[in-house]
């Protein structure tokens, strides 16, 4: 199947392009980006022109930041294209509901991707937890915003989500592996004095689940989830890619490079079966944290 990548920036170059090139299902047939392009691939700098001139490309994958994504997704669906959305799937919940209804009405596939759910050890972790009684759980998601979002001021603008941009990856795993849903009870959000979104957050959920997100960690990065049960302790390391039970590695691989190939395989399946996959539960928790969180001001942040 032919696919066009829209919004050629960091994640398109780091993950989408290699995943498409290595897939037996997909051919990268075009790019749409105001400045970016991919060597050897026909490039458009305007979506409307692409939609008009390339009716042979049935699928588009949107890789730009969340704020502008709705307009691109809506235009593509109205032009009869199947749509794949980077995470988080939009800037608001309502706009994603609108896209979902539009795709349904037109018989098109919409895929709100969560790349961390495709990490190697998420499915085994979910299977292990399915029949356990959970006592408590904790997420530690500490990374360096300068490394993963170099100079990207949009992450600190309204709609950029701040530290929830990576934190939502942890929440996408949590909502996948827990046998029962949880809800947010309270949150503390740290906003740099010169920015519109938080750089750190501490969350407390029902079911004794807590989370600590921080975007100021230099050196080794930490993406860990631990869940204590009456029958042992589960730890997911490396962003869901390695599973330990009671300190012993039992599944997974210490690499994040399997996630995007798995997303594209899933999109191929959705298009073939004319179905959609839109789960907004990770974004509901972020939205709740921004509604409920106590706001504190911290040091100004500059890239």
Which residues form the interface with ligand NAP (CB under 6 A)? 7-12, 33-36, 63-66, 68, 86-87, 115, 148-149, 152, 165
Please provide residue 49's backbone torsions phi and psi, each rounded to the nearest 5 degrees.
-65, -40
Would you say 134 or 161 has its CB closer to ligand NAP?
Answer: 161
* Least distance to ligand NAP, CB of residue 76, Å: 13
CA dist 268 and 99 (Å) reads 19
Residues 3, 59 contacting (CB under 8 angstroms) = yes
Asked if residues 199 and 215 have their Cβ atoms less than 8 Å apart, the reply is yes
Hey, what are 77's tokens?
A: 């669906």
47 and 73 Cβ atoms separated by less than 8 Å = no
Q: Identify whether 87 is a catalytic site residue.
A: yes
d(CA 211, CA 137): 8
Q: Which residue has the tokens 């075009």?
A: 30
Comparing every residue's Cβ against ligand NAP, the nearest one is 9
Shortest Å distance, C-beta 118 to ligand NAP: 12
User: Measuring CA to CA, which residue among 46, 100, 87, 82 is closest to residue 283?
Assistant: 87
Q: Which of 35, 87, 126, 132 is catalytic?
A: 87
The distance of closest approach from Cβ of residue 68 to ligand NAP in the complex, given in angstroms and rounded to an integer, is 4
Q: Which is nearer to ligand NAP, 115 or 195 (CB)?
A: 115
Residue 238 CA to residue 221 CA, distance in Å, equals 9
Minimum CB–partner distance for residue 232 and ligand NAP (Å) = 31
Q: How far is the CB of 59 from ligand NAP (least distance, A)?
A: 18
CA atoms within 13 A on the CB side of 187: 24
Pick between residue 63 and residue 84 the one whose CB is nearest to ligand NAP.
63
Question: What is the number of helices (H) and of strands (E) in the chain?
Answer: 10, 15
CB-CB contact of 39 with 96 (8 Å): no
By annotation, the residues acting in catalysis are 87
């Amino acid at each position: 199947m032919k696919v066009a990548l829209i919004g050629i920036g960091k994640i398109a170059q780091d993950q989408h392009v290699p995943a498409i090139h290595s897939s037996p299902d997909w051919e990268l047939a075009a790019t749409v980006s105001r400045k970016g392009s991919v060597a050897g691939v026909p490039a458009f700098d305007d979506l409307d022109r692409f939609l008009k001139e390339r009716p042979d490309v049935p699928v588009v994958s949107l890789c730009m930041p969340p704020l502008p994504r709705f307009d691109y997704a809506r235009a593509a669906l109205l032009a009869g294209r199947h749509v794949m959305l980077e995470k988080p799937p939009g800037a608001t919940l309502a706009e994603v509901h609108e896209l979902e209804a539009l795709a349904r009405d037109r018989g098109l596939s919409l895929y709100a991707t969560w790349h961390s759910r495709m990490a190697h050890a998420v499915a085994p972790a979910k299977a292990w937890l399915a029949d356990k009684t959970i006592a408590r759980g904790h997420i530690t998601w500490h990374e360096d915003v300068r490394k993963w979002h170099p100079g990207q001021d949009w992450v600190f603008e309204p709609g950029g989500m701040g530290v929830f941009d990576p934190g939502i990856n942890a929440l996408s795993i949590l909502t996948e592996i827990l046998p029962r849903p949880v809800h947010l009870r309270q949150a503390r959000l740290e906003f740099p004095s010169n920015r519109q979104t938080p750089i750190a957050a501490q969350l407390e959920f029902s079911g004794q689940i807590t989370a600590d997100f921080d975007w100021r960690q230099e050196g080794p990065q930490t993406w860990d989830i631990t869940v204590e049960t009456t029958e042992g302790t589960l730890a997911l390391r490396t962003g869901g890619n390695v599973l330990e039970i009671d300190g012993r590695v039992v599944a997974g691989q210490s690499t994040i490079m399997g996630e995007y190939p798995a997303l594209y395989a899933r999109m191929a399946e959705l298009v073939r079966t004319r179905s959609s996959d839109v789960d907004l539960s990770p974004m509901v928790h972020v939205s709740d944290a921004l509604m409920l969180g106590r706001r504190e001001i911290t040091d100004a942040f500059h890239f």
